[in-house]
Amino acid sequence: MTGEQVLTAEQMAECDRHTIEDIGLPSLVLMERAALAATDVIVKQMSTNKVLVVCGVGNNGGDGLAVARLLWLKGIPVTVVLIGNPEKATAQTKTQLKVCQYYGITILEALPELDTYTTIVDAIFGIGLSRSVTGKFATVIEQLNAAAAGKLAIDIASGISANAGTVLGTAFKADVTVTMAYQKIGQTIAQGPAYNGDIIVADIGIYQDDHSIEG
Ligand SMILES: NC(=O)C1=CN([C@@H]2O[C@H](COP(=O)(O)OP(=O)(O)OC[C@H]3O[C@@H](n4cnc5c(N)ncnc54)[C@H](O)[C@@H]3O)[C@@H](O)[C@H]2O)[C@H](O)CC1
Ligand SMILES: [K+]
């Protein structure tokens, strides 16, 4: 049911919508499954000595905040950096932020010294990236790329166009990408493959051909 097809951002967003609105699975359920899948890869394939999760304010950031909480609950040293205005965050990301605050997880507004971190998780932009990355977002991504830590991207390497596979200004260079439900076309063409690292497709309950028996 899942995994083989390669979708555009629009097709992925439609699958997301169909699952939430037509089938009725709440968005936070999908986000939690995405976070559980990414956390499983981090624990199995990356160093968990000291983890930095860098989050945007869209739902990609929400995935990252949920990953940070799951790592924290496993006793893994984790710090969050939230890049962007939290007031502009999506409802799901605001919820995840509140949960991280409940647990007292450190949430920074700017990058710390990176050389003590052993793993960096990129949850800045996902398939909602809509224009060239500039300003503080570009600076942050370039600083992350210069760090020695292992690098994992949530859903898609931030800065890579989900449809064209081009680098929009600058992009996170991942060792591993955990992508939700299906690979995005931009991960298979142009510069996408050079920035994904190893791609792992996570089954989070979203299926393109998933329609009711009447449908
Ligand atoms: N599709 C699924 O099955 C699921 C996807 N999930 C995650 O959700 C993201 C998509 O989230 P979305 O809120 O649409 O947007 P993003 O988080 O990707 O980022 C957009 C965010 O950033 C702003 N923005 C866009 N471009 C720029 C830019 N160049 N500079 C600055 N800011 C920019 C934009 O305004 C938004 O605020 C998907 O990738 C998954 O990670 C669900 O959590 C699980 C199911
Ligand atoms: K990302």
Region 207-211: mean pLDDT is: 80
Structurally, the chain folds into a number of domains equal to 1
Considering the domain boundaries, does residue 171 fall inside one?
yes
Domain of residue 122, CATH code: 3.40.50.10260
Considering the domain boundaries, does residue 96 fall inside one?
yes
Domain that holds residue 147: 6-208
- Per-residue pLDDT at 4: 77
Considering the domain boundaries, does residue 173 fall inside one?
yes
Q: Rounded to a whole number, what is the distance in angstroms from the first to the last CA of the chain?
A: 16
On whether the CB atoms of residues 185 and 191 are closer than 8 A, the answer is no
Kindly tell me if the per-residue pLDDT of 104 is higher than 90.
yes
Considering the domain boundaries, does residue 188 fall inside one?
yes
DSSP of 141-153, one letter per residue? HHHHHHS-SEEEE
Considering the domain boundaries, does residue 203 fall inside one?
yes
d(CA 125, CA 171): 10
d(CA 177, CA 195): 9
d(CA 52, CA 71): 11
pTM: 0.97
Considering the domain boundaries, does residue 199 fall inside one?
yes
Q: Which residues line ligand 1 (CB under 6 A)?
A: 12, 16, 30-31, 34, 56-63, 90, 125-133, 137, 154-155, 180-181, 204, 206
- Per-residue pLDDT at 3: 56
**Residue with CA nearest ligand 1 atom 14:** 128
